[in-house]
Amino acid sequence: MRTAKRAHALCLVALALAACGGGGNKPSPQAPEPIAPIPTAGLAGQTVILLPLTLIAAEDSLHWQAQLADRHHVLLRADSMVGEMLRTRVPEITWVLPEELRHAAHHAPGIAPDPDQMGTSLLRAKEMTVVPDPLRSQLRTLTALTSAGTFAFAPAALIYRRPDTLHTTVHKEGVGKAELTCVLVNVRTGQVGWRSVAWGEGPDPWTALERALKGLTPGLP
């Protein structure tokens, strides 16, 4: 009888330890998800509009406030880097860059939305599979004005975080991790057909972003 009670008590202890993570061991952080590359095969030969970024944020612990203080300059620089990457590394697609979208909108007042004031940051939500109005109709309008095709490429958000020390590739103080959420939208149906979070690490915002962008086109130097 005592033996049975003792075995039962030991079993309860074992279950308690398992519930606590094996006696106090914390579960290890998950490794970053693989970056989904741009689906160039299905877009080759098409004209795709590239929307400007509207959301950039960074964790305070990175101490990059001074480098990211001028929001207008930072957004334009990020747009330029994204556009240059796409034009040079994905030349099989004809890209309508943000500056061209602004030009088209400027010449269609009252009809075209301001590309820098659209709600594209909403697309960063993983659960969003269909673009809501008015953003959906705005995308259709910009596409029509620029004689583009069926798709819009949206860098939805650029977030800078402190890297996970377990999985980081650069173990240095001051290193940050850029996470660029990108989506591809079918402007006719409103469907989000592709989503990827490109990430890269670096000692400053622009190096981290450059490395994140290269992850969208694997196989190139």
CA dihedral 57, 115, 106, 44 (to 10 degrees): 120
Strands (E), 98-150: none
Per-residue pLDDT 10s for the chain (221 aa) are 444 445 444 444 344 434 444 444 444 445 667 899 999 999 999 999 999 999 999 999 999 999 999 999 999 999 999 999 999 999 999 999 999 999 999 999 989 999 999 999 999 999 999 999 999 999 999 999 999 999 999 999 999 999 875 444 444 567 999 999 999 999 999 999 999 999 999 999 999 999 999 999 998 98
Residue 60 Cα to chain centre, angstroms: 19
Domains of the chain, by residue range, sit at 1-29, 31-214
Contact 42, 135 (CB under 8 A): no
Asked whether 98 and 114 are in contact (CB, 8 A), the reply is: no
Whether this model's pTM surpasses 0.85:
no
